[in-house]
Structure formats: structure tokens, C-alpha cells
Amino acid sequence: MTQDTQSPCAERPRERLLRHGVQALTSAELLAILLRTGPRGSNAVDMGRRMIAHFGGLRRLLSAESTALLAFPGMGAAKSCELLAVQELSRRAIEEPLRQGRTLSQPDRVKELCALRLAHLRVEHCIALFLDSQLQLITCEEIARGTLSHASIYPREVVKAALAHHAAALILAHNHPSGLAEPSPADITLTRQLKQALALIDVRLLDHLIVGATEVTSLAQRGQV
């Protein structure tokens, strides 16, 4: 395996980080610090560049599943586990303040969490943020996944999950693989049906977020919840 120490000085990411700080490094160089080595005939920075290009950007790479990481040339179990650990630490870092403070006072952080979990996905997924009576996050859970344009979300399943988590409120979020964050008529209808179903068990639907490629739309902010 080719070591980073065999690279030109300008491509030694650890030394550059210590000398100039993390902001001076490219994404490929930062990734190389995790990878440490590249496949034979290459170095970790080159491998980082190829991975970013292969996965279609840094966000998709850092959200890739283990099978996709392991399939990339030069990625073994150790490197894959390190990238998966970074993914999970990022999610937990965003979730942590939501578990300690009122979710409604942190709308940007809620959108950031939902974007991190959903924006990169190529098929439609739906998650729910279950909240306690103080509107602090209990857990964030996937409740449906589907196709390029549709995920079947059943109010009874959301109600069942809310009861299982002893939730007092929840925020629904799903992605549009098209990249557009504009709600469809079906999204608005689902929101109304879900709000009515949850009201029967005294659980509030606080918002329904539509996650696009670069933005997140709140139906509550539009007065549609």
C-alpha cells in the first residue's frame, strides 16, 4: 500500500492541517486523513478525490451505506467503519441539542438534521422526529421508504410508533429525489390526514418538512399544518 509519506510535501494532509488548520485542506485531503493509505500505485489524497467523484459529492459519500463503501476499490472493513462512524457522529452531534432543548426553538437545526438524513437519498424516504411533552427529541426514526417518486406513509403506522415512543408530538419529514422541495397536493393531503389521526391519541403534528437537494420546506411555516 502506498503511504502518504511518499507523496509530495504539498499532499501530506496531516502536516498541512497542523501547520495551517483544517480550513486550509481540500475535502480530498481531509478524507485522506481518515483513509491514511491508498491502493497500490496511488495515495490517500488521490483515493479521496476518486471517491468524492464516484459517489457524486461529499454529502453522498458521507451518507453511503457500508455495502457501497466496501465495493469501492481500496476500501476495506477498517476504512469503511471509520467513515460510517463519522456519519453517525455527525448525526448525533446535530441531534444532541434537540434532546436537551425545545425543538421548536431550533428550527434550523431540525432542518439540518433532516437534510443530513434525507437530502442525498435517491429514493423517497420518510422519517419522524418523536418529541416528549417538553418538545425535546426522543428519537428520530425511519417510518417508510419507497421509489423515486413515492413512499407509502400510513397514518396508522405513525400513530403506532408515536404510542410506542410515548411521544407527545412529532415532526414528519420526507425527501423528494427530484431535488425540489415544493410540496405536492398528496403531501398536503397526507399532512391533514396524519394530523387528524394523531389528534385522536392526543399527539400533536408540529410540522411536515419536504427535503430537496439544497433546501427544506416547512409546511408549518406555510400555514399548512
In order along its 225 residues, the chain shows pLDDT tens digits of 444 444 444 558 999 999 999 999 999 999 999 999 988 888 999 999 999 999 988 888 988 889 999 999 999 999 999 999 998 898 888 888 888 888 878 899 999 999 989 988 888 999 999 999 999 999 999 998 876 566 788 899 999 999 999 999 999 999 999 999 999 999 999 999 999 999 999 999 999 999 998 899 999 999 999
Q: How far apart are the first and last CA of the chain?
A: 56
- pLDDT value, residue 150: 66
Q: Which of 45, 93, 85 is nearest to 77 (CA)?
A: 85
- Angle at Cα 114 formed by Cα 197 and Cα 47, nearest 5°? 150
pTM of the model: 0.76
Class of domain 102-218: alpha beta
CATH architecture of 2-89: Orthogonal Bundle (1.10)
Angle between helices 185-199 and 155-164 (to 10 degrees): 40
- Please state whether beta strands 2-3 and 37-38 pair in parallel, antiparallel, or not at all (unpaired): antiparallel
CA distances from 95 to 89, 146, 208 (A): 10, 25, 18
Domain boundaries, the chain: 2-89, 102-218
- pLDDT value, residue 148: 59
User: Which residues 6+ apart lie within 8 Å of 211 measured at CB?
Assistant: 114, 115, 118, 119, 173, 174, 175, 176, 181
Q: Which of 36, 64, 61 is nearest to 50 (CA)?
A: 61
Q: Hey, which residues does 38 pair with through a beta bridge?
A: 2
